[in-house]
Homo-oligomer: A and B are copies of this chain.
Amino acid sequence: MKKITHFFLISLLFLLVISCAENSAKSAENNDLPPENPKIGLAIHGGAGTIKRENMTPEREKAYREKLQESLEAGYAVLEKGGSSTDAVIAAVKVMEDSPFFNAGHGAVFTNEGKNELDAAIMEGASKNAGAVASITNVKNPITLAHAVMNNSPHVFMVGGGAEKFAMEQNLEIVDPAYFRDEQRYEQLLKIIDTEKQQLDHSSQLELELQDPYFKDRKFGTVGAVAVDMEGNVAAATSTGGMTNKRYGRVGDVPIIGAGTYADNATCAVSATGHGEYFIRTVVGHEIAAQMKYLDKSLKDAADDVVMKQLVEIEGEGGIIAIDKYGNIAMPFNSEGMYRGYMYEKGKGKTFIYKDEDEKL
C-alpha cells in the first residue's frame, strides 16, 4: 500500500514539475520563420485589406512585390552594417512612404475635405523611447518627424501645425501638400463622397467596392516595419495617410503608442495595420507584449490571440507584424490579404500578398 502511495506521489510531483516547466518555457517550436540563431531580422507591411488574386493584374502584383523587396533591402542594408533597428525601420518605411502604392506619405488617401493628413510613430525597445505625430500635411517623410520628436524633444506626441513647426526647426524636408496627392486616390474619394450623397444602402456600398477593389484595403492602409539589430535591440515604425474620407481630424491607431506601434526588448516590437478604432480599444501592441511577458507566450501565440481572436470577436479587421529579440517574426492578419515581407539574409527577402502563401523560409 505504501509503495502505491509512494509511486502515486512521485507521479504527481513529476506531473506538477512538467506542467510548471511547460508554462514557463518559451514555446519556440511554434515559430517557423527564423533560421537558427539569426543575427538580424526585419519584417514589413504595406497595409491589410480585401486584397484578392482575382482583383490583381500580374503587372500590379509584380510592382507591389518589387517595392516591398526594395523596402526590405533598404532596412536590411542598415542592419547588415551594424546599424540600429531604429535606423533600419525608418529606412524601410521611407521607401513605402515615397511610393504611391501605399497609404502613407506620397499616395496617402484623402480626408473628407480633400486633404492628406498623415500620422506616424516610432518606438525603440531598448530605452522604450517613442515619438509620434498626427495630422501632418507638409512633411515629406512623417516617420522622420516621429523620429525627431523621439530624439530631439522632451515630448512623445505632437499634432498638427505645432508638429509641422517643429519639423521646420529640425530642418526636415518640407513639401507642398500637393506632393502627397495621387490622382487615382482623389477619384476614389470623389466616388465615395458621391456614394454618401446619394444615401446609398448597404448593398450598393458593396457594389461600389466591387467596382473599386482597392476601396477597402486603401481605406485602412498603413505601412510599417519591425526589426532586431546585432545588439539584440528591437524597434517598430508605422506611417499612414489614415482613412479615405475621414472627417473631423480623425486619428487612428498608428501614432497611439501601445496600440499601432509598440516596442520593448523584453517582449517584442509591433507595427499594426487595420481598422484603427478597434486597434486602439484593444491596445493591440501592448496587449501582445503583455501576453508574452505575463503568460510566457511565444510571439506567435500572443500575436495570434490578439489578431485572430480578440480583434475578430469585435470585427476589427487588419493585421500586425512583430519581431522579438531572438528574431522570431509573426505576421498574422484576419483580412483577405496583407502586403508583407521579411528578410534574415542578404538577397533573400521574401514578400507575400495573399492569405494562402507559404511564409516559411
A residues 83-138 touching B (CB-CB < 8 Å): 123, 128-130, 134-135
Is A2 an interface residue, CB under 8 A from the partner?
yes
A residues 1-25 touching B (CB-CB < 8 Å): 2, 5-6, 9-10, 12-13, 16
Tell whether, in the assembled complex, residue B294 and residue A247 are in contact, meaning their CB atoms are under 8 Å apart.
Answer: no
Tell whether, in the assembled complex, residue A156 and residue B277 are in contact, meaning their CB atoms are under 8 Å apart.
Answer: yes
Question: A276–B156 Cα gap in the complex (Å)?
Answer: 9
Tell whether, in the assembled complex, residue A250 and residue B158 are in contact, meaning their CB atoms are under 8 Å apart.
Answer: yes
Q: Mark A241-259, 1 if CB is under 8 A from B, else 0.
A: 0000011111110001111
Is A325 an interface residue, CB under 8 A from the partner?
no
Count how many chain A residues have C-beta atoms less than 8 Å from C-beta atoms of the other chain.
52
Cβ distance A301 to chain B, nearest Cβ, rounded Å: 13
Question: A333–B254 Cα gap in the complex (Å)?
Answer: 30
**Which A residues are closer than 8 A to B by beta carbons?**
2, 5-6, 9-10, 12-13, 16, 123, 128-130, 134-135, 153-163, 165-166, 246-252, 256-259, 262, 276-277, 280-283, 286-287, 290-291, 294-295, 314
Extra pairs beyond A157-B251, A158-B249 (17, CB < 8 Å): A6-B6, A9-B9, A129-B281, A153-B248, A155-B248, A156-B281, A157-B250, A158-B250, A159-B249, A159-B251, A256-B258, A257-B259, A257-B283, A258-B259, A286-B287, A290-B294, A294-B294
| 12 A-B residue pairings within 8 Å (CB atoms) | A2-B6, A154-B277, A155-B250, A156-B276, A156-B280, A157-B252, A159-B249, A166-B247, A257-B281, A258-B259, A258-B280, A286-B287
